[in-house]
Amino acid sequence: MYSDFISHTFATLLILLLYSCKVAVGQTGDIEDEELLCRRCGHKVTSAEHLYSNKSPLALSHRNDTILGHDDTLIQLFQNAHENRFELITVKQADVYRHGVAVYDASWFPSYAWRITVCPRCGQHLGWSFEKGTEDHHSKKYVFYGLILADLLHKDCRFHNFNCIAYVLNHAM
């Protein structure tokens, strides 16, 4: 009986958390308020002005959704060699650390080399940089980023999540 209560409480909490983030991600406002953060530590990764649709012919699927107030943000599903799947958004600029040497093998964007990107604050894997014609770690050649949607959080979700948790915990006990 108690485990059913806990399961129900957890399910309610999860629904409220997901709903609050969906509402927050769809909000519009000042462009400087429209930021995506590292889900793990809250580091500002990118903002609405840097969203960029770059469709890959190698995506398993794609869809458009509202991200940071942009109704037609391209979200693409990719699968790596280890059969892990990732939903990516592409951006022109991101505050991430590009790790290692860029390689062309198994790139999801033909004619672009890729390298793993991580959060400069906590080291969380956030996606990949895609670079044209470079193997130099510090090169300033053309770069765009494929960021893993599940590892990002809208700036306002931090506050919505805490409010939802507090509400559920206060009303479920």
What value does the mean pLDDT take over residues 37-49? 95
Q: What's the pTM value of the predicted model, to 2 decimals?
A: 0.70
Answer whether 89's CB lies under 8 Å from 113's CB.
no
- Residue 157 has what pLDDT? 62
* pLDDT tens digits, 77-100: 999 999 999 999 999 999 999 999
* pLDDT tens digits, 140-152: 578 999 999 999 9
- Residue 95 has what pLDDT? 97
- Candidate from 29-33, 70-74, 111-115, 116-120 with smallest mean pLDDT: 29-33
Which ranges in the chain belong to alpha helices (H)?
Answer: 2-25, 157-172
Sign of the alpha-carbon torsion through 152, 157, 159, 165 = negative
- Mean of per-residue pLDDT scores for the chain: 78
pLDDT band at 29 (very low <50, low <70, confident <90, very high): very low
3-state secondary structure 40-81: CCCCEEEEHHHECCCCCCCCCEEEEEEECCEEEEEEEEEECC
Quick one: tokens of 76?
Answer: 């693409």
- Residue 123 has what pLDDT? 96
- Residue 149 has what pLDDT? 96
* pLDDT tens digits, 100-141: 999 999 999 999 999 999 999 999 999 999 998 645 555 557
- Residue 131 has what pLDDT? 94
The fold of the 30-153 domain, in CATH, is 2.170.150
Sign of the alpha-carbon torsion through 44, 50, 53, 59 = negative
Answer whether 173's CB lies under 8 Å from 59's CB.
no
The fraction of the chain above a pLDDT of 90, given in percent, is: 59
What value does the mean pLDDT take over residues 43-72? 94
Domain boundaries, the chain: 1-27+156-173, 30-153
Identify the residue with better confidence: 12 or 83: 83
